[in-house]
Amino acid sequence: MCGIVGYIGPRQAQDVLISGLSKLEYRGYDSAGVAIQEQDGHIDVCKKAGKLSNLAAVLEAEPLLGTLGIGHTRWATHGLPNDTNAHPHASEDGKIVIIHNGIIENYLPLKEQLTQRGHVFRSETDSEVLVHLIEEKYAQTNNDLYEAVRLALGDVRGAYGIVVTHADHREIVAARTVSPMVMGVGEGEMFLASDVPALLPYTREMVFLHDGDMVILHDDGFKVTDLAGREVQRNIEHIDWDAEAAEKGGYDSYMMKEIFEQPTALTNTLIGRLHDDTGEVNLDIKLDPASFKRISIIACGTAFYAGMVGEYLIEQLARIPVDIDVASEYRYRDPLVNEHTLAIVMSQSGETIDTLEALREAKKFGAKTLGIINAKGSSMTREVDDTLYIHAGPEIGVASTKAYTSMVSAMLMLALWLGRARGTLTEQQSRELLLAARELPRLVEQLLTPERVEHIKQVAEKYAYARDFLFLGRGVNSPTAYEGALKLKEISYIHAEAYAAGEMKHGPIALIDEHMPVVVIATESKLLEKTISNVQEVRARKGKVILVLSEGDTEHARYGDDVIYVPRAQEMVSPVVNAVALQLLAIFTAQKLGKDVDKPRNLAKAVTVE
């Protein structure tokens, strides 16, 4: 989720780039840089680790003069946040300069091949392979920058928003796949950015580039093509959002924006790690799968529920004993920990004090430690032995949404990786689950269609005035019920409890009456019929049942007062899809009640005090 800005026109590019990048800082970054083409064509590059203000201070003291430039703020995926790994990246002769947002899935083989052909790499990033590829193709295309970029992208797999300039050309070439990019159309000037806020001070006429689009920008206009070089038409849209609405991508809250960002976030979590050809998962972590005999998962809140899913997945796929604790309990219960324990801490922020202190407690007794974390460079990432970043991008809404589904997906990949490494998972089983995981962005996209979203909104508004809710689920979707209950209560302030569906008859059933909506996750599962029995127990006591069913399951629809259909998903990956339906149920309920979903009362995004 890096910030990208490009400019060509009469203005001093440096001013536009720094202004634009500062409007993207909510996307988070750990380094920033610009490249500006001087009047004589020479391209100057300035890049600094740390906050954008570090770069701005250097440029303030020594401005770069020129009216064509590109700028970048980095949310590191490969390579530490430092000056060298910051973007832009330049070719060896300094004539070609690129910035990139996304993940190049096949960068390692590309880097090896390019190195063998004599290219010298300066950074640890995946992005740098792009500039060397383009440099090679440029030499083969009688100096056609657009064609060089187009051919280079033909060798690339992954997610990219890339912007390229060349000292010998007054033009900017860009392309996007998965990573967002928007073009601003001015009078005698053109702009590019990874998000609308960067462009609003200069123009409201915008073109939202589609997946697979390429674009060439000149001072007086632009041309959009597909990756095959065929021209395509893209409409110029007038954007009347104010600055705050723009940061929310036109949604009425960061939380809603982040719910709808999940297909992209999941793509970024999974991409580069799933290898269909071998059925292997590559997590790029140093952990030795044979070096521990049991796993302790430690987290808080939503992260804890992602950990609960992980417990099911790891025990089922890797056959390793797993225990799980909320961090605030783990710290004080004198846990049994030794050098044969792997302690996994899960955290969106990487700063939750309970989880951080629990990590320290585990380390004190010799545990190996792994962090499943979103925020780059956060405290936990500096104290664990290894970090599996979830790459969900900055999450602004206090109620966690995309970080949850990305954490669950990361847990699935970890379970697959452990299962293969320990021989408890056959190649065939691994391939099937890996393909199911690869489907997740598309399945979530299918759930987020206007028709399904509108239906969930109607269900939410129908029950918005209930005083209490019950959420029930079984197996790997039992944690989904807990997460759904948390989502509802933390933004609507309605009391909501969750239980493993089979547990309801051991007490909670006393709560059931005609005033009690009961949300039951009853998607495709070997436990589906047992779950339906629990539903019938609820209905026998006049409870109102909101049934979450797999698409096409008409047989069980009659057991629900209302039914929410979700795309059919393999059971092990279904918690990701089901959670999105419950996120929508919660946010529409809270909106109906007029609550501030981004800043719920009493809550903080990261609980950094005890």
Which CB atom, from 348 or from 550, has the smaller least distance to ligand AGP? 348
Among 101, 400, 525, 550, binds ligand AGP (CB under 6 A): 400
| Cis peptide bond prior to 88, omega within 30° of 0 | yes
Pattern 114-133, binding to ligand AGP, x per CB under 6 A? --------------------
**By three-state DSSP, how is residue 447 classified?**
helix
End-to-end CA distance of the chain: 31
| Binding flag, residue 606, ligand AGP (CB under 6 A) | yes
Which CB atom, from 165 or from 302, has the smaller least distance to ligand AGP? 302
Q: Which residues pair with 390 in a beta bridge?
A: none
Distance between CA atoms of 563 and 462, rounded to whole angstroms?
Answer: 12
- The DSSP string of 37-86 is E-TTS-EEEEEEES-HHHHHHHHHHSPPP-SEEEEEEE--SSS-SSTTTS
- Regarding beta strands 213-218 and 43-49, do their DSSP bridges make them parallel or antiparallel, or are they unpaired? unpaired
| Binding flag, residue 534, ligand AGP (CB under 6 A) | no
Q: Which residues pair with 217 in a beta bridge?
A: 172, 222
Q: How far is the CB of 352 from ligand AGP (least distance, A)?
A: 3
Distance between CA atoms of 27 and 316, rounded to whole angstroms?
Answer: 36
| Binding flag, residue 33, ligand AGP (CB under 6 A) | no
Burial of 286 (0-12, 13-18, 19+ CB in 10 A): exposed
| Binding flag, residue 439, ligand AGP (CB under 6 A) | no
- Regarding beta strands 294-299 and 322-326, do their DSSP bridges make them parallel or antiparallel, or are they unpaired? parallel
- The one-letter amino acid at 241: W
Among 490, 562, 571, 598, binds ligand AGP (CB under 6 A): 490
Binding segment for ligand AGP (CB under 6 A), chosen from 126-134, 150-158, 343-351, 517-525, is 343-351
Q: How many residues bind ligand AGP, per CB under 6 A? A: 16
Among 59, 246, 398, 547, binds ligand AGP (CB under 6 A): 398
Q: How far is the CB of 157 from ligand AGP (least distance, A)?
A: 30
DSSP character at residue 551: T
Binding segment for ligand AGP (CB under 6 A), chosen from 283-291, 438-446, 505-513, 601-609, is 601-609
**Residue (of 113, 152, 115, 150) closest to 131 by Cα position:** 152
Options 2, 23, 46, 544, the catalytic residue:
2
| Binding flag, residue 297, ligand AGP (CB under 6 A) | no
Q: Which residue is nearest to ligand AGP (CB)?
A: 301
Among 73, 267, 302, 480, binds ligand AGP (CB under 6 A): 302
Binding segment for ligand AGP (CB under 6 A), chosen from 4-12, 59-67, 114-122, 394-402, is 394-402
In residues, how long is the chain?
A: 610
Helices (H) and strands (E) in the chain, counts: 19, 26
Distance between CA atoms of 513 and 495, rounded to whole angstroms?
Answer: 15
Q: How far is the CB of 138 from ligand AGP (least distance, A)?
A: 44
| Binding flag, residue 303, ligand AGP (CB under 6 A) | yes
Q: How far is the CB of 303 from ligand AGP (least distance, A)?
A: 4
| Binding flag, residue 77, ligand AGP (CB under 6 A) | no
Residues 376, 81 contacting (CB under 8 angstroms): yes
Options 51, 457, 462, 605, the catalytic residue:
605
| Binding flag, residue 296, ligand AGP (CB under 6 A) | no
Pattern 344-383, binding to ligand AGP, x per CB under 6 A? ---xxx--x--x----------------------------
Distance between CA atoms of 326 and 297, rounded to whole angstroms?
Answer: 9
Residues 205, 236 contacting (CB under 8 angstroms): yes
605 is known as an active-site residue? yes
| Binding flag, residue 300, ligand AGP (CB under 6 A) | yes
Binding site for ligand AGP (CB under 6 A): 300-303, 347-349, 352, 355, 398-400, 490, 603, 606-607
Active site residues: 2, 605
